[in-house]
Amino acid sequence: MLGQRQIHNLALIGFMGTGKSSVGRLVADTLHFTFLDTDHVIEARAGLTICEIFQRQGEAAFRDLERRIVAELARRKKTVISTGGGLPVNEANLVSLKTHALVVCLWASPEKIFERVHDHSHRPLSSVLCAKWLGKSFISFVWRRLLIDERSNQVPGKRVGV
* Domains assigned to the chain: 9-108+147-151 (3.40.50.300)
Distance CA(36)–CA(106), nearest Å, equals 16
Predicted pLDDT at 13 = 92
Q: What string of pLDDT tens digits covers the 162 residues of the chain?
A: 456 778 999 999 988 888 999 999 999 999 999 999 999 999 999 999 888 888 888 888 999 999 999 999 999 999 999 998 888 888 899 999 999 999 998 988 777 877 877 665 554 554 444 444 444 445 554 555 455 545 555 544 445 544
Neighbouring CB atoms inside 10 A of 18's CB total: 24
Predicted pLDDT at 130 = 40
Spatial neighbors of 81 by CB under 8 A, at least 6 apart, are: 9, 10, 11, 12, 24, 36, 37, 38, 73, 97, 101
Predicted pLDDT at 132 = 44
Predicted pLDDT at 134 = 41
Beta strand ranges found along the chain (DSSP E): 9-13, 34-37, 79-82, 101-105
∠ CA 118-66-49, rounded to 5°: 50
Predicted pLDDT at 119 = 64
The residue among 118, 104, 107, 111 whose CA lies nearest residue 138 is 111
